[in-house]
């Protein structure tokens, strides 16, 4: 059972392995929503995510015999690091099965805590099935990443900290993968103050809790293909589902494209790196009426590798018209390239890439193609640059921007 006594116990115990993640007031998001928006930066934890809370509390409830057999779990990355770090603190051996597509930073950090990493399967569910098989064969003690009431109790310590710091909170937004975090947070939040609204947020392409609520029981999705890899779970937990079903007030789904803009908002306005799953609660804010309300978005993790980060930034700049490409046709004669460059410069555009194609027409005197990729301040500025090119008689045609 999830009880207030256990939540209180867990909240004190996890302080041994967590860093204080004080609420961060977001002036930027508050202006957008006309409410008071706070961020719970679990991305700043030592392991880069909240998962260490549930892992450490779960291991603390085990017997010495269970720990001595060695621990095993499956994870897309954050629970892996949580278990590895917690196991290290207890002096236990830990084996972690991770999907083959897990970002390299999560694999390396998990290994850095002394755990053995086994890569298997394309998604969490594949890794979990293999971890259970190894547990049976080798006698390891399995630590479930979300479908465990002790793990959910440890995650619920987040709600305790939020309410202690902001007693008048109206909304708490939590990401949903398998359901452990939202179960712990929503159950404790309702115990502390039934008026608090707890909103779960899922990637639209992996909305396993939405499907479960609609069916009245956990169901298995056909796929969970999303850039929010930490929440790419096909089926929510059986044990935690009744609590989630009872205590979640609403579930919002978010498209992958919305996470890209949220990443830029966090980097530019808060100087924080938050992984895609942790950004679900930021992207969901615009779907709620928060005028005059106090809301906390839980940023569940920040373990994103640099290659993914680079791709997200590039797509975000293109998405917001801060990078765009145009094609213009020019006669192949001296001075035409200067004319185009001068027009763009006079409109305060910044050229970052040029492609000159002389073979677009058999008559080079009639036309060669120039493709220009440039920076702008946003959509309005892009339109100003396009108009300047049109006024110069260049008839620009917008094309998909590619930096590489």
Looking up residue 327, the CATH number of its domain turns out to be 3.30.70.260
Predicted confidence at residue 356, as pLDDT, reads 81
3-state class of 214 per DSSP?
helix
* Max CA separation in the chain (angstroms): 84
Predicted confidence at residue 304, as pLDDT, reads 85
The number of CA neighbours under 13 Å toward the Cβ of 358 is 5
Q: What six digits make up the tokens of 212?
A: 């479960």
Last residue of a domain, which of 142, 175, 207? 142
Tell whether 220 is covered by a domain: yes
51 catalytic per annotation: yes
Q: What is the mean pLDDT of each successive set of 10 residues along the chain, which is 404 residues long? A: 95 95 97 97 94 95 93 88 93 93 82 94 85 94 94 97 98 96 98 98 96 96 89 92 97 95 94 95 97 97 87 90 92 86 94 81 70 93 95 89 60
Counting the structural domains of the chain, the total is: 3
Whole-angstrom Cα distance, residue 258 to residue 159?
26
89 shares a domain with 188: no
303 shares a domain with 231: yes
297 shares a domain with 195: yes
Say if CB 237 and CB 176 are below 8 A apart.
no
Closest CA to 75 of 109, 36, 37, 46: 109
Last residue of a domain, which of 286, 301, 316? 316
Using CA atoms, how far residue 97 sits from 54, 308, 311, 318, 346, in Å, is: 18, 21, 26, 36, 56
**Strand order in 368-375's β-sheet?**
350-357, 368-375, 323-330, 397-399
157 catalytic per annotation: no
CATH code, 177:
3.40.50.1100
Predicted confidence at residue 103, as pLDDT, reads 74
Predicted confidence at residue 91, as pLDDT, reads 92
Last residue of a domain, which of 316, 345, 377? 316
Closest CA to 45 of 65, 62, 22, 73: 22
180 shares a domain with 130: no
How many Cβ atoms sit within 10 Å of the Cβ of residue 174? 28
349 shares a domain with 296: no
Predicted confidence at residue 244, as pLDDT, reads 96
Tell whether 204 is covered by a domain: yes
162 shares a domain with 109: no
Which residue's structure tokens are 């290290």?
A: 88
Sign of the C-alpha dihedral, residues 138, 140, 144, 145?
Answer: negative
Among candidate residues 51, 106, 234, 382, the one labeled active-site is: 51
Predicted confidence at residue 207, as pLDDT, reads 95
Q: What six digits make up the tokens of 366?
A: 């009639």
Using CA atoms, how far residue 104 sits from 78, 119, 159, 313, in Å, is: 12, 11, 30, 18
Among candidate residues 60, 297, 300, 325, the one labeled active-site is: 300
Detail the DSSP E strand segments found in 20-169: 24-26, 36-41, 71-74, 94-98, 116-119, 141-142
Q: What six digits make up the tokens of 4?
A: 């207030």
Contacts of 335 (CB under 8 A, 6+ apart): none
339 shares a domain with 311: no
Residue 14: give the domain boundaries. 4-50+155-316
Tell whether 308 is covered by a domain: yes
């Amino acid at each position: 059972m999830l009880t207030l006594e256990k939540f209180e116990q867990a909240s004190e115990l996890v302080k041994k392995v967590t860093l204080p993640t004080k609420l961060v007031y977001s002036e930027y998001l508050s202006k957008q929503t006309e409410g008071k928006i706070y961020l719970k930066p679990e991305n700043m934890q030592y392991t880069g995510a909240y998962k260490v809370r549930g892992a450490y509390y779960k291991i603390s409830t085990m017997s010495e015999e269970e720990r001595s057999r060695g621990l095993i779990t499956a994870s897309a990355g954050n629970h892996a690091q949580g278990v590895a770090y917690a196991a290290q603190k207890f002096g236990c051996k830990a084996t972690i099965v991770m999907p083959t597509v897990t970002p390299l930073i999560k694999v390396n950090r998990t290994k850095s805590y002394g755990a053995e990493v086994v890569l298997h399967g394309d998604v969490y569910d594949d890794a979990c099935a293999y971890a259970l098989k190894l547990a049976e064969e080798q006698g390891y003690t399995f630590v479930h990443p979300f479908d465990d009431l002790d793990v959910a109790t440890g995650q619920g310590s987040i709600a305790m900290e939020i309410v202690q710091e902001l007693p008048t909170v109206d909304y708490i937004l939590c990401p949903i993968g398998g359901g452990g975090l939202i179960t712990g947070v929503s159950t404790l939040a309702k115990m502390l103050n039934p008026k608090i609204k707890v909103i779960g947020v899922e990637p639209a392409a992996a909305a396993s809790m939405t499907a479960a609520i609609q069916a009245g029981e956990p169901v298995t999705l056909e796929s969970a293909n999303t850039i929010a890899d930490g929440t790419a779970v096909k089926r929510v937990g059986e044990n935690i589902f009744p609590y989630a079903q009872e205590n979640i007030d609403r579930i919002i789904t978010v498209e992958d494209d919305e996470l890209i803009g949220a990443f830029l908002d966090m980097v530019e306005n808060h100087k924080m790196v938050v992984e895609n799953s942790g950004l679900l609660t930021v992207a969901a804010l615009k779907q709620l009426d928060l005028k005059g309300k106090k809301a906390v978005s839980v940023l569940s993790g920040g373990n994103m590798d640099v290659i993914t980060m680079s791709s997200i930034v590039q797509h975000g700049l293109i998405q917001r018209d801060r990078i765009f490409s145009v094609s213009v046709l020019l006669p192949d004669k001296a001075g035409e390239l200067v004319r185009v460059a001068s027009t763009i410069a006079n409109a305060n555009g910044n050229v970052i890439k040029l492609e000159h194609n002389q073979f677009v027409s058999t008559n080079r005197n009639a036309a060669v193609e120039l493709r220009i990729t440039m920076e702008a301040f946003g959509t309005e500025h892009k339109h100003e640059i396009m108009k300047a090119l049109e006024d110069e008689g260049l008839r620009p045609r917008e094309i998909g921007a590619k930096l590489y």
